[in-house]
Structure 1
Amino acid sequence: MASSFLGLRTAIYAAPDLEQAKTWYTAFLGIAPYFDEPFYVGFNVGGYELGLDPDLTPAEGTPVSYWGVADVEATWQALLTLGATAQQEPQHVGSDIIVATLNDPFGNTLGIIQNPHFKVE
């Protein structure tokens, strides 16, 4: 039986205080969640889901999801203004690609990437 990935669909983050996390992500994303229940909150971010789960706790070594952005520096500053903390400052990693990581106020690592060579089709 052949099987293959179709692409990423969802990144789920720990949200021990679901209401506070929902408020924080709503403020940053500028959109309301499309799914809002006491056990899970989901946002549609460019056709992908950013989920908040109150039953998870942030774990060391968890894979980092990098969210595509048009401007890493502007997004970096916006996240810091909302209370995220710096983990790895924006850096060029070659071929005009810039990456950075931050921690949201709930202990999750957020990756952001500016990659002019990657287009979702």
Structure 2
Amino acid sequence: MIEGLRTVVYPVTDIAAATAWYQAVLGRAPYFNEPFYVGFEVGGFELGLIPDGTPGPDGATAYWGTADINAETDRIVGLGGTLHSPPTDVGGGISVASIKDPYGNQFGLIFNPHFDKAKVR
């Protein structure tokens, strides 16, 4: 079952420069800062940066929360989605997956045990 929006990830070409820019835009430091991923907590949601992928208007992926990423991936693929990236542990107990919808859009799923619904405002 989809629980709600959790994360939007933006691909960037220079993660250090993008981290500094988003830190200025958001007025806060990232809570997670590694060469492969930078995460900012914003109003209970996450804005993430990745150093791979292609920046541009089609580059961001919204990740929808789920308590069972494997079952939800299977369910959505069964409804006609195409597996783009299987459920993958990205560290800290967090797993992500992505599915292409029947129209070619990327639909992201995330299991994040650290997500605090009480922070959503």
TM-score by length of 1: 0.50
Aligned length: 69
Partner in structure 1 of residue 75 of structure 2: 78
Cα distance in 2 for residues equivalent to 1:115 and 1:99: 9
Cα offset for 1:93? 0.4
Of all paired residues, the percent bearing the same amino acid is: 38
Letter in 1 for 2:94: I
Cα distance in 2 for residues equivalent to 1:71 and 1:88: 16
Partner in structure 1 of residue 3 of structure 2: none
Partner in structure 2 of residue 102 of structure 1: 99
Partner in structure 2 of residue 112 of structure 1: 109
**Which ranges of structure 1 fall in alignment gaps of 5 or more residues?**
9-58
Cα offset for 1:107? 1.3
Cα offset for 1:92? 0.3
Cα offset for 1:61? 3.4
Cα distance in 2 for residues equivalent to 1:114 and 1:107: 23
Structure number having the greater strand percentage? 2
TM-score by length of 2: 0.50
Letter in 2 for 1:99: V
Which structure 1 residue ranges, 4+ long, deviate > 4 Å from structure 2? 3-8
Q: Does 2:76 correspond to 1:90?
A: no
Q: Greater relative contact order (Cα 8 A, min sep 6): structure 1 or 2?
A: 2
Cα offset for 1:60? 7.0
Cα offset for 1:7? 6.3
Paired residues for 1:17-36 under 5 Å: none
Secondary structure, aligned partner of 1:77: helix
Cα distance in 1 for residues equivalent to 2:44 and 2:84: 27
